[in-house]
Every structure is written in C-alpha cells, then in structure tokens.
Structure 1
C-alpha cells in the first residue's frame, strides 16, 4: 500500500479560507465594507525544527510583522518608531483621525513625513492609545491615595505581563496560569483598534513550550499571515529565554472573516498550492525578552509565490 504524503500545514488555512468564502455568513461590519464570516476555527502548527507558519501561497513581509512584534514589546503606542523603519501597517488609523479632525486630505506618505519630521506632531497625532504593547507591559494598577484613603490613584508603573510570564515559566513551568492579554475593558474606547489577537496562553510539556493564541477577530486575507507568524516568533523568543524547546502554535479564531472587497486576492490564493517548509532561526540570545533586535531573526528555506495585495479596511 502506497501511503499518501502528509498534508502541507498551510492547507489548514486554505481550507478555512475556502470555507469562509464559499459558506460564510455575509455580514455588515464596523468598516462598512462587509465580510463573509464563520464563528470559531482552530489551526495547529508544529514549530519544531525551526519551522514557522509563513504562508507560501503568497509572499509575506515577515520583517514587517517582526518589527511590529518588537515594537509591541517596547510598550510604545506611537507609530513614529514604526514609520521610521518603513512600517506602515498602523498608519491608516491615525491618518483617518487627523484628516477627519482637521478637514485635511493628507496622503499616507505626507502624513508619515510629518510624523518623522515633527516630534510634537507625532506626539499629538501619531499615538494610538493604550494598544497591545501598553497592555502587555504596563497594565494599570491602583493604590489608595495617601491624602484620601477612600480614593485610588494610578500607580506610576503598572504590571509588565510579559516579564511576569517569563518569570513564571522559569519558576513553575507546569502552572496553568501562563497567560497574558490585551483585552483591558477599561481602555477599549481609548484604543485606535481594540486588540484582535487578545489572549495568549503558554504550556510546557516534555521540555517544549507551546502557545495557544485566541483571536477575537481575524481578517484571513491580510491579518492572519502576520498574526500566526508573530505568535510563532514570540513563542520561540520566550522559549529561548526559558531554555526550552519549541512545540506547537495553536491558533483559535472567533469571528473569522474575509472582506468582500478581497475577492481577487481570495480567488487567486485558493488556486495556488502550498509548498516548502519555511524556517525561523534566532541567531543570538539577548539578556532579556525585551532586548531582541530585528537582526537577531533569520528566515530561510522560504520560497513563496508572488505577492497578493488587497485594501485594508479601517
């Protein structure tokens, strides 16, 4: 009996994309564009042997995703450091806010040029509110006021969930509490975009670190490729800091959708066949989880098919 070759791990994504596109519920959404959507999906990827979930049926700008993850870990909420690195993925939200508030019609390039050139302008218009990195590294805590014990004041420094996560994994790897989240209900209305990839849980078994990511909302056409790569990258970073091997990434999606104006992207991608086994290597072990640089990451054996573009719904 001739055994069939194992299914390429990316096929799980393509099957999910086809299911959403062909059978998903057509819905109105916040952006006004409209989506086809299903509720609840799971995809599993092995991260062993330096494997990484980089889509091969289209080219993924993995360095953009990596720079974004490193920016999250700084706790910064301003787009200026991203724009200075040529990363544009967060610009549309503050640009739309600026143009609406001022009656301007700046292009993205014009707006970003002002962000880079003018620190005061960047401080006023480039801030996204307390988004991912703020919640990950500086979650609000409060203490009784020294003058009014019946009132509480915000502490100068909040909880660094990432730091506590690494400490907890090193101290008690079998704990069921290795979790960090970005879903801070008190701050959702202050964020340019409430967190989509919102809850991460980690598990140590047989000397390997695995991660479950729960994503409340996932744009399969554009966002998914970055989300799974970034989660795998972060898992590998944490594993290195804890002297652990790497096991699996389990991705769970809530509202999993494709935008109606992504039809050309979806239909072209579904005609392609995945191939290869992309790898991610970390070339240096920094002193802490917060000390990685983009130069520390190397992707190899990655030969994707051509780029597919589609508009971002803001």
Structure 2
C-alpha cells in the first residue's frame, strides 16, 4: 500500500475516479498450521468473503442469495444498471430489500451475467449439430475437474481454474479481476502440500485485496482437504495493482497502523465434495483486528 501510494503512477481509469498504480506484484503466504492472510490493520469481514466463495461454487450469478445472507458487496453494479434503465433514484438499501422480497424483480435486476462461479462450474460449450448448426453442449465444471486431477495426476501442470471467458466478457457486470487460479502439489506421501497461485489482472488494494486473499486461502484450504493434501503456500500475483484517489483517508489511516496478531482459519469438517461446504464449516480464531476503515466502491 505504501509503495503504491508514494511511488505509483497516477492515471485515469475506467471508473473516472483515478488511481495510483503499480504493475506486476507478488505476495506469498504460508497456509500451514491453519495460518491465514487476514489483515489486522483494519477489520476484514471474512464472513462475507467466505459466503461469497461458497456462492461462487454454486455457480449462481444472481445477488439474491448473497443479500439473503446479509452480504451486500455485489449490489453496486446491478443498482447502477437499474438506476440507468429505470430513471428511478432508488437507494441501495431499498433496492436490496426489493431484490430479497421479490423473486421476479431479482431475476430481472439482480443478475450479474456469467461472472466467476458460472465460468468455474459451468463453462459453456457448443457442439456441431446434425442440422449444421451449433447447439449448447454440457457445461464444464472446472473446479470438479481440478479436484480429480489433483487426486489422480498431482504432478500435472494443468490444475487451473479460469474465469476469463473472452466470448462472454461483454455480458458480465464486471469482468473477473481474480481471474486465474493454478494449483501445484509439492512433495509426496503424507507430507505432500497443495500450493495455489492466484493471478489478479486488476486489484483494488484498499477494498478488494483483503477479500481476495482470504477467499483464495479458503479455496486452497478446501481443495487441500478434498484431495488429502496439507495446505502449502498461497502465491498472489497482481497485474494493475492500484489505490483509488478517493481512498485517501483509508490509506493514510491504515498506513499509520502496525500489524499485530496471528489469526487462524479452522475447517471443522471435510464434506463429501467441495460443493458441500457450508458457512458453519469455517471458523476464524485469534483474530483481533483494529478498527473498521471504510471507503467508496468505484463502479
């Protein structure tokens, strides 16, 4: 954060807010002994991040299931779309309440397009039909395929979950930022460890990165549990890694704080498949963050 704020290249961006940005960054975290990269210099709402990750694994693209659990992190994009289409100056809380209460309204205005989870568990395919036309084929469950490949071919270099479906980017409310997850098995036998590298093309360091790190660590832990591997290392790699210019108060406040503590992530059980986890299966212990720091989301 300090490197970006003091030495980043100041530039205009898609949102019109403006950023300070650096390109090509890397962070590494040891996930052994239940360690988890959870920031302590501000409170990170890890419960929302965990619920978001479980939502991704369902393949859902509608914000209604998240809002029903009190998770509002995806509301800004459909809200903006609704305001522009309807001309109604509706508040966020009222919009979210309508999504929860009205299934038809949610279907029309709560969908984000084929974002993250859709690509992860139902990547679209097309087959050449007998009439000479292409028709929709069975979706590809990348997550399930990687679990099986980790079990059956741990030395493979193809343990990849990809979200960047070029053909469908224009239908997404937001193209995937944390776009590519690659897994790697180190060692053999009972000491074998599962590593994960996440490439993130665009990273909002103040608001997005804390969620992304916890989410990636959680996914890695679930994958390791499902494949009888020990948690290894999370390697995070960022492309355009930036801070928004309207996040000045958050950035300057956070840079005055010193990290403290060593939070841990506990998985309470190993369900039959990676798609059978529930929020109650996760527990974070020894997490004593400093106060909440808020900033607006650039949409």
Shift of 1:284: 1.0
Shift of 1:145: 1.3
1:281 aligned to 2:233? no
Match of 2:272, SS?
Answer: coil
Structure 1 match to 2:3: 19
Distance 1:285 1:305 in 2: 32
1:29 aligned to 2:4? no
1:245 aligned to 2:230? yes
1:164 aligned to 2:145? yes
Distance 2:290 2:239 in 1: 28
Match of 1:290, SS?
Answer: helix
Structure 2 match to 1:197: 178
1:87 aligned to 2:68? no
Question: What does the per-residue CA deviation read over 1:36-60, in whole Å, with 9 as the maximum and x for residues that have no partner?
Answer: 0001100000000000000000010
Distance 1:182 1:253 in 2: 15
Shift of 1:142: 1.0
Distance 2:95 2:288 in 1: 34
Structure 1 match to 2:125: 141
Match of 1:53, SS?
Answer: coil
1:69 aligned to 2:53? yes
* Residue of 134, 140, 145 corresponding to 1:152: 134
Question: What does the per-residue CA deviation read over 1:181-230, in whole Å, with 9 as the maximum and x for residues that have no partner?
Answer: 10000000000000000000000012000000000000000000000000
Question: What does the per-residue CA deviation read over 1:69-95, in whole Å, with 9 as the maximum and x for residues that have no partner?
Answer: 000000000000000000000001000
Shift of 1:154: 1.3
Q: CA RMSD in A?
A: 0.6
Match of 1:173, SS?
Answer: coil
Structure 1 match to 2:204: 219
Match of 1:287, SS?
Answer: coil
Taking structure 1 as the reference length, the TM-score comes to 0.93
Distance 2:14 2:59 in 1: 27
Unaligned runs of at least 5 residues, structure 2: none
Matches within 5 A, 1:172-183: 172-183=153-164
Shift of 1:254: 0.1
* Residue of 33, 40, 51 corresponding to 1:56: 40
Match of 2:77, SS?
Answer: helix
Shift of 1:152: 1.3
After TM superposition, what 4+ stretches of structure 1 lie above 3 angstroms from structure 2? none
Shift of 1:232: 0.3
Unaligned runs of at least 5 residues, structure 1: 1-16
Question: What does the per-residue CA deviation read over 1:252-307, in whole Å, with 9 as the maximum and x for residues that have no partner?
Answer: 00000000000110011111111111100000111100000000000001111111
Distance 1:283 1:77 in 2: 27
Distance 1:202 1:296 in 2: 22
